[in-house]
C-alpha cells in the first residue's frame, strides 16, 4: 500500500495545544478543500507528492526519532484521504499519533479514530472559501470531533481567524460547538491569527474581544503560528 507524501521531517510543533513538542511530521499530498489562507498550497494536489509505501515511511521515521520525540503528526493536505494507509501504518508499529485534520471526512475518520492519541480539528468559516456549503462542512467537523471524543482522544478545535473576521462570527460558531459537541468541556478552542502576524496591525484588539466572548462557552486560547516566528518548518 502506498500514499502520496510531500515530506517527512522532524521539527517542533508550532500550532495548537502541543506547541513546543518535538514531532515527526508526515505531510500527505491532496486535500478535499480549498481554503484561501492555506500556507501549504503545494500540498493541495495529489500529484505534488511522492508515492511511498508503509515500510518506506517507517524506515524514514526510524531515522528521525530523537530522545525528545512526542508523536507523529499526520498532516497535509488532508490526511484522512489516506485513512487506510494510516491504519496500515499503525498496525505495523504503534507510534503516538497527532492527527491534524479539517474534520470533513467523518466516515474516513471512523477507520482510524481508535488509534489517534491527539487531534486538531480545524473549524472552517464561510470567509475561508470562495464558495462552499459551510453548513455541511461544520456539521461534518462536529461529527468528527464527537467521534474522537468518544474514543478518548485528546482533541482540540482550531479556527484560523483573519484580520477581517468579525467577533460575532466567532461567538456564533462557539455557541454552535457548545451546543452540538457531545461534551464541550473536553475540548479547547484555539484561535489562530492568520500569518504573517504583521498583517494584523490595528486589528489585534479584536482578538481580545473574541477571547472574552468565547470564554463564556469554551476553554479558549489565542495562539499564533510559532514556527513562522521562529522561521522553522
Q: Please report the beta strands in the chain, taking only residues with DSSP state E, as ranges in sequence order.
A: 2-12, 22-28, 50-53, 69-75, 97-101, 118-122, 154-161, 188-193, 219-222
Task: Give the per-residue pLDDT at 175.
Answer: 96
Span 173-181, mean pLDDT?
A: 96
Domains of the chain with bracketed CATH: 2-230 (3.20.20.70)
Task: Give the per-residue pLDDT at 145.
Answer: 97
Task: Name the nearest CA neighbour of 92 among 108, 66, 72.
Answer: 72
- Asked which of 69-73, 187-191, 202-206 is least confident by mean pLDDT, the reply is 202-206
What is the pTM for the complete model shown? 0.93
Q: Rounded to whole angstroms, how far apart are CA atoms 182 and 151?
A: 12
Q: Contact, 86 vs 42, CB < 8 A?
A: no
pLDDT 10s digits, 142-162: 999 999 999 999 999 999 999
Q: Does 40 score more than 80 pLDDT?
A: no
Task: Give the per-residue pLDDT at 20.
Answer: 96
Residue indicated by cell numbers 468528527: 144
pLDDT 10s digits, 120-147: 999 999 888 777 789 999 999 999 999 9
Confidence label for 41 from pLDDT (cuts 50, 70 and 90): low
Confidence label for 36 from pLDDT (cuts 50, 70 and 90): confident
Distances from the Cα of 223 to the Cαs of 80, 103, 118, 145, 182, in angstroms?
25, 20, 18, 20, 25
Q: Which residues contact 6 (CB under 8 A, 6 or more apart)?
A: 27, 28, 29, 42, 43, 48, 49, 50, 77
Amino acid at each position: 500500500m502506498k500514499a502520496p507524501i510531500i515530506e517527512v521531517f522532524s521539527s517542533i510543533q508550532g500550532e495548537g495545544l502541543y506547541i513546543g513538542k518535538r514531532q515527526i511530521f508526515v505531510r500527505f499530498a491532496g486535500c478535499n478543500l480549498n481554503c484561501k489562507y492555506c500556507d501549504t498550497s503545494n500540498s493541495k494536489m495529489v500529484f505534488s507528492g511522492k508515492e511511498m509505501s508503509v515500510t518506506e515511511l517507517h524506515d524514514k521515521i526510524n531515522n528521525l526519532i530523537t530522545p525528545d520525540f512526542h508523536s507523529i503528526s499526520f498532516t497535509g493536505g488532508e490526511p484522512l484521504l489516506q485513512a487506510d494507509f494510516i491504519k496500515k501504518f499503525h498496525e505495523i508499529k504503534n507510534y503516538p499519533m497527532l492527527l491534524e485534520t479539517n474534520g470533513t471526512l467523518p466516515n474516513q475518520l471512523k477507520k482510524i479514530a481508535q488509534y489517534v492519541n491527539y487531534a486538531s480539528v480545524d473549524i472552517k468559516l464561510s470567509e475561508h472559501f470562495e464558495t462552499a456549503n459551510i453548513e455541511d462542512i461544520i456539521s461534518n467537523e462536529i461529527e468528527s470531533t464527537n467521534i474522537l471524543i468518544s474514543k478518548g482522544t485528546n482533541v482540540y478545535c482550531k479556527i484560523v481567524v483573519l484580520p477581517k473576521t468579525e467577533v460575532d462570527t466567532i461567538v456564533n460558531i462557539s455557541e454552535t460547538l457548545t451546543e452540538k459537541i457531545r461534551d464541550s468541556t473536553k475540548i479547547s478552542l484555539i484561535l489562530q491569527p492568520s500569518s504573517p502576524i504583521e498583517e494584523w496591525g490595528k486589528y489585534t484588539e479584536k482578538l481580545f474581544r473574541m477571547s472574552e466572548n468565547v470564554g463564556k462557552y469554551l476553554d479558549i486560547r489565542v495562539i499564533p503560528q510559532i514556527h513562522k516566528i521562529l522561521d522553522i518548518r
